[in-house]
Amino acid sequence: MRTCIAGRARRSWLVGAMVTIAAAAPLGAQGAGNGYLFGAPSGGLTIRAGWFIASASSDFYEEAGRDLTLGKGDFAGPTIGAEAAFRVTPQLDLTFDGGWSSANPKSHYKDLVDNNNQEIEQSTSLRRVPLTVNLKAYLTPRGRSVGSLAYIPAAVVPWVGIGGGATWYKLRQTGDFVVKSTNEVVGQTYESSGWGPALQGMGGVNVTVTPRIALTGDARYLWSRASMEDNTAFEGLKIDLSGVSVALGLTFRL
């Protein structure tokens, strides 16, 4: 009889231990981020980097390209950006987005040289900083709930978006320039900065790496144009700040 009771006690202890371990295992997996989150994310933060291809289709570029060896492709350059997203519905976010792109082409006059038969050279710097508010729609469900606590993010989620705001720019040209009235070569620096309205359309895909992190592919077209500052060499000109950007980034689910 004692042996039977002891055997039952051991079996009861073993069953209890197994139940405890089985109950604790999913909780440990969730805490370790093994495919689970505690509820659907309320937002996210994305950081990206890539390349900006400028449209460069306004009269500033036409005038610069008339005399100097500057083309549209010279105004492409690296871009970085960040986005804060706030969940509105299961498949819609409100986002606040900021970007930065830079181009630094070198140039010289196409048909003119100086008295020493040397190129008359310049350096141009153009910075763009678009700031936009967007609506971002996910084309497939972003994840699914398991029970009342666990949430499993989807492996791949495509998205599209649209938004608007403003773009700040700063243009600086420095080097040697020809005074047309005298054909004299002088060293000079020209600057202009300001704001212009902006609209953008975008699309991409999020690929889950961990429950909290996704790899994000991002492509967008920005339309923006500004009037150049008065009382500068660019007075009366328009500068096109539009272009296409392609980037890769990381999204952190919050």
Question: Which pLDDT belongs to residue 10?
Answer: 41
Task: Give this prediction's pTM.
Answer: 0.82
Q: What is the pLDDT of residue 7?
A: 43
pLDDT of residue 34: 54
Judge contact between 92 and 80, C-beta under 8 A.
Answer: no
Q: How far, in Å, are 69, 71, 228 from residue 66 at the CA level? A: 8, 9, 18
Closest-CA residue to 44 (of 86, 10, 102, 11): 86
Identity of residue 174:
T
| Residues of the chain with confidence (pLDDT) below 70 | 1-36, 230-232
| pLDDT score of 15 | 39
Looking at residue 153, its pLDDT comes to 95
Q: How far apart are CA 111 and CA 68, in angstroms?
A: 9
